[in-house]
Structure 1
Amino acid sequence: MKNLKITTLTINPSLDKSTHFTGLIAEQKIRCEKPRYDAGGGGINVSKAIAKLGGKSTCIFTSGGSSGEMLEELIAKESLENVAIKTKNWTRENFIAFENVSKAQYRFGFPGNEFHEDEKDEILKTIKELKTDYLVISGSLNEGLATNFYQKIATIAKESNIKVIVDTSGEALKKVLETGVYLIKPNIGELAKLIGVERLELSDVEKAAKKLIEDKSAEIVVVSLGADGAILVTNEETYLVKAPKVEKKSTVGAGDSMVGGMVWALSQNKTLKEVIRIGVCCGTAATMNEGTQLFKAEDVMKLLEELN
């Protein structure tokens, strides 16, 4: 494996199928337009986002069955440096449908199939052999995986002095924070759960993020605020960036685009203020496109100019 600055890990990728249709009526056949297929899953989307910004990364993912083969073909078309870890069970598929009249988007996500023990061991072995500056662990866990699986991966990576960036949720996120990582990107609701409160107001976010930093759960906490943008917090710095106003067509991949923009900026030795600005603009630009297309680099540049 090449020694690139950034590596992404997607253990629960998906073959994303998206389409358009008109009219949603129960028990009637819905005529859909020709589907579009995309390689999906948190880390894969992060790698695609980095490539759109002119960067490079190694994309590690699991792949099984015919859906996995198609996933590999789609990733190859993106010209991403990649490592496919073969599995006996098939890669999952997700379905996204856009209703033409109402402009409503329907997203159907399916769970990932279970891994065999040797496949789990292969994932951990791949991380042990990794040579990279940043490891982005992104996405959900497969069925049957222990909630501490990401924690195991983070522990291995930290032993190699790799900066670990985590974008997941629930118990998997709580567990990995026991080890402590470089950067996390919860939304405001997830942050509330992490510090044990029911909800947080915007004015409480910085204090809550600093509590995680004081507990050595993460060095950098970036809290996604949806349409309000995001806030980046460290021990010494806090930056709130409002999301530029755009016409939204889809929110699919917006969070992954944001992570991709931030890790690319970190790899380019940008300041933390620049990191969060680029991240917010990548996430916002992704909402300007339908389906699972992420963002256009020219849209990111335009939005960055608007922030100045």
Structure 2
Amino acid sequence: MILTVTLNPCVDKTYLIEDFAIHKLNRPSQALTVAGGKGLNVARVYTRLGGKALATGLLGGYNGHIVQTALAGEGIAHDFVEISKETRICIKVVDPLHKTETEINEIGPPVSESEMLRFMERFEWLLASHSFAVVAFCGSLPPGIEADLVKTILRNAQQAGAKTVLDSSGAALQEGVLAGPWLVKPNRVELEELWGHPISSVETARRAATELRKRYEVDVFLCTLGAEGALWMTEKEAYHVKAPQVNVMSAVASGDSFLAGLLLALEKGDSVENALRLAAGAGAANAEGLGAGFCNVATVQRCAEQAQVSRLA
């Protein structure tokens, strides 16, 4: 079983609008409202693929109620702490005609010190009352939360015996990586943030991941590079995986889907190669449809069979 921590979840609204344009009335041909946030996406895909996941974090107001109702309807186990302010809304506009995707993501509600203390108490209780194989901190921080709290969350999980995963950006990534998580999953932009240099190729990404893994004493750097695939980097091995080409509808949450597939395969005892195939399959299957992480098992398996994994070292 895994635990995902999402301190800044959202109501995720996706609109499919052919020929989307500013300064005019746009009417979506499809609209989808779901529980969103990186950790919730990971929990969703992990659950849909047959694993057991528990999602925790902070939720507030009417939007928080929408998120909890949606999670219950999907059968995703969750245990959130209530805050006084309203959970944010994130909007995606997908235009299949021009193959564009526009995102409008609210920053999130301010969180008080007392609310954060209540969350940490709940988090410690969850760690004490469950045996989690992995605890994953995912996503951004809402206003009012210091970035070094990410480091505390990861270290507490490590002390409880769980492997820790960090999938974040900005200050949360910079602080969280100092805890020496088992696995860090940056995308290209986030890898550039940590390394301080542009990433122009798979080889450049490999060099950056090698240096950063040693610097922060991280076991695994898992770098998702969009159309160029992903890298798995450890002290003794390096792999590159490329997903099959698919008709991309929306890339939102493909990285989260990738991570969920990888963690599930590894928890089941699969090899790294097979885990990367399932991960790539989940990411590709997610990109084929609307909605973050709403890929089905058959599509994931089909895409996984076509994924190409090569050992680099």
Bucket of the pairwise TM-score, normalised by the shorter protein: over 0.9
Find out whether 1:231 has 2:227 as its counterpart.
Answer: no
Q: Secondary structure at the match of 1:17?
A: strand
- Over 3 Å counting, the alpha-carbon distance change for 1:225 and 1:22 in structure 2 is closer
Q: Which residue of structure 2 lines up, in the alignment, with residue 141 of structure 1?
A: 141
Q: TM-score, normalised by structure 1?
A: 0.92
Q: Secondary structure at the match of 1:221?
A: strand
User: For structure 1, which segment, 267-276 or 251-260, has the greater mean C-alpha deviation from structure 2 after superposition?
Assistant: 267-276
Choose which of 87, 103, 123 in structure 1 pairs with 2:83.
87
Distance in structure 2 (CA, Å) of the matches to 1:21 and 1:213:
42
Secondary structure of the residue aligned to 1:241 is strand
**8 Å CA contact retained: 2:14, 2:290:** no
- 233-242 or 92-101, larger mean C-alpha shift: 92-101
Q: In structure 1, which of residues 39, 44, 47 is the aligned counterpart of residue 40 of structure 2? A: 44
Matches within 5 A, 1:280-291: 280-291=280-291
Structure 1 window deviating more from structure 2 (221-230 vs 19-28): it is: 19-28
Deviation at 1:197, TM superposition (A): 2.4
Q: Using the TM superposition, give the Cα deviation of residue 24 of structure 1 relative to its aligned residue in structure 2, in angstroms.
A: 4.0
Aligned residues: 304
- What is the letter of the counterpart of residue 53 of structure 2? S
Matched residue, 2:275: 275
Greater alpha carbon shift after TM alignment, 143-152 vs 211-220: 211-220
Counterpart-to-counterpart distance in 1, 2:239 and 2:279: 12
Contact 1:231–1:276 at 8 Å: present in 2 too?
Answer: no
CA RMSD of aligned residues (A): 1.8
For structure 1, list consecutive stretches of 5 or more residues without a partner in the other structure: none
- How far, CA to CA, are the matches of 1:17 and 1:193 in structure 2? 28
Deviation of 1:213 after TM superposition, in Å, equals 2.4
**Is 1:61 the counterpart of 2:34 in the alignment?**
no
Does 2:2 correspond to 1:6? Answer: yes
1:244-269: CA deviation from partner (whole Å, max 9, x where unpaired): 11111110110110111111112112
Q: Are 1:162 and 2:158 an aligned pair? A: no
Separation (CA, whole Å) in 2 of partners of 1:98 and 1:193: 27
Q: Which amino acid aligns with 1:152?
A: T
Contact 1:243 1:281 in 2 (8 A): yes
Structure 2 residue identity aligned to 1:112: G
Q: In structure 1, what is the equivalent of residue 12 of structure 2?
A: 16
Aligned-pair CA distance for 1:219: 0.6
Shift of 1:54: 0.8
Identity %: 27
Contact 1:254–1:294 (8 Å) recurs in 2: no
Deviation at 1:7, TM superposition (A): 0.7
Classify the secondary structure of the residue corresponding to 1:218.
Answer: coil
Q: In the alignment, which residue of structure 2 is the partner of 1:173?
A: 173
Instruction: Give distance in 1, aligned partners of 2:52 and 2:172.
Output: 27
Q: Do structure 1's residue 196 and structure 2's residue 196 form an aligned pair? A: yes
Q: Secondary structure of 2:219's match?
A: strand
Q: Distance in 2 between matches of 1:86 and 1:34?
A: 31
Matched, 1:118 2:103: no
Report the AA paired with residue 163 of structure 1: K
- Matched to 1:192, the amino acid is E
Q: Secondary structure at the match of 1:39?
A: strand
Kept in 1: contact 2:280–2:304 (CA 8 A):
no
- 1:51 alignment partner AA: T
Equivalents in 1 of 2:302, 2:192: separation in Å? 33
Amino acid at match of 2:157: A
Displacement of 1:22: 4.4
Match of 2:243 in 1: 243
Distance in 1 between the 2:121 and 2:223 partners? 31
The structure-2 alpha-carbon separation of the partners of 1:19 and 1:153, relative to structure 1 and needing over 3 Å to count, comes to same
Query: 1:300 maps to what in 2?
Result: 300
Give secondary structure in 2 for the equivalent of 1:90.
coil
* Match status 1:265 vs 2:261: no
Instruction: Give the structure 2 partner of residue 102 of structure 1.
Output: 98
**Structure 2: 5+ residue runs without aligned partners?**
309-313
Alpha-carbon offset, residue 156 of structure 1 = 1.3
Going from structure 1 to structure 2, the CA distance change for 1:31 and 1:49 (only over 3 Å counts) comes to same
TM-score by length of 2: 0.91
Instruction: Indicate if the aligned counterparts of 2:169 and 2:190 stay in contact, CA closer than 8 A.
Output: yes
The answer to whether the 8 Å contact 1:230/1:242 transfers is yes
